[in-house]
Amino acid sequence: MSHPLEGITVVALEQAVAAPLATRHLADLGARVIKIERPGAGDFARDYDRTVHGQSSYFVWLNRGKESVELDIKADRALLQAIIARADVFVQNLAPGAVERLGLDAATLRAARPELIHCSVSGYGPHGPYRDKKAYDLLVQCETGLLATTGTPEAPSKAGISIADIATGMYAYSGILTALYDRERTGRGASLHVAMIDALGEWMSQPAYFTRYGSQPLQRTGARHASIAPYGPYRTGDGSVFLGVQNNREWAALCKEVLSLPELVDDLRFRTNPDRVRHDDELTPLLEEVFADRPADEVIDLLDAAGIANARLRGPGDLNDHPQLRARGRWRDVDTPAGSVQALLPPVESGREPVMGTVPALGEHNDAIRAEFGRLSA
């Protein structure tokens, strides 16, 4: 079966999370991704942990289907130039100013090859007072206001995943795909720049609007929603159930079919969502009083029958055994240097099986890459 990006070569001077996530998705679509790594050390994400057969969970997640070649960017410059000369896409997330000093910036590379798609990933963008500031995921969560909106009223909390990096990687991925599509029509490449502060700033737009134009700042509410109610965890007779009501029709169904309290539908305290949010300290005890003598399974059955969205709290370790993912066949075996792992299929179903290739060992493709491109650098 053919793949959408067969014939596309991506050269990735990348590390950590954001850029590797973008290029891994390209690899899943059939692109050839040549990952340039530091001799003897490689992408520093290889050393984040040792939890997956002695390998980093981050690296295994982000680097399947790539070719790893160790290059000293200065000493092996001719070879690197030969590889880039065959590339359709060049992706980099080095420290600010590094590619300019190395002559690998968009202006330099595209002066010789206007058809090249050059994508730079940074923390704070190519200009401005924060240009040279180091940017790690937690720090960008702080700068964009995410930390101020996450956690309890007493203490802010970071998101439990690398959300700033993931947002950035996905915008880099979509930007590269858009540029490839545009190049098919125009023959021109593109100079792309994706900053973490911009990517996560986009995702923070709703809280920013709410706070800037509302009468009071958005409050931290733990696992509850700050601007929708009822929405969050509610105690039952044997644990908690999470539920969410999105509109007045669902509110009416909850009152009549689940709570058996139809009089609440038009209660002035709860008539609209802003009313319910304002009086959530009164609304929550009403729900939990009804649920107190019922097991969670019974509450979930009632919610499902009434068309009210709900969920159980699962841990990350439960994902592999999630009944919905298992039933839909969403897992595949992926080889790594230390053994096979199960990997989740990419989210977009297209009727084509994604590549999902092997996770490379450091320098696994050194000889092959040097044999293929070495004669071109002579």
Residues labelled catalytic: 225
The values of phi and psi at residue 298, to 5°, are -70, -40
- Pairwise CA distance, residues 44 & 322, whole Å: 31
The values of phi and psi at residue 110, to 5°, are -85, -10
Query: Could you tell me which residues come within 8 angstroms of residue 256 by beta carbon, excluding any fewer than 6 positions away?
Result: 262, 265
- Pairwise CA distance, residues 335 & 340, whole Å: 4
Signed CA dihedral, 100, 102, 105, 107: sign only = positive
Tell me the Ramachandran region of residue 71: left when phi exceeds 0, alpha when psi lies from -120 to 50, beta otherwise.
beta
Q: Do 83 and 373 touch, CB atoms closer than 8 A?
A: yes
Upper half-sphere CA count for residue 237 (Cβ side, 13 Å): 10
CA distances from 19 to 12, 22, 52, 253 (A): 8, 5, 21, 45
Q: Do 193 and 201 touch, CB atoms closer than 8 A?
A: no
Q: Do 154 and 160 touch, CB atoms closer than 8 A?
A: no
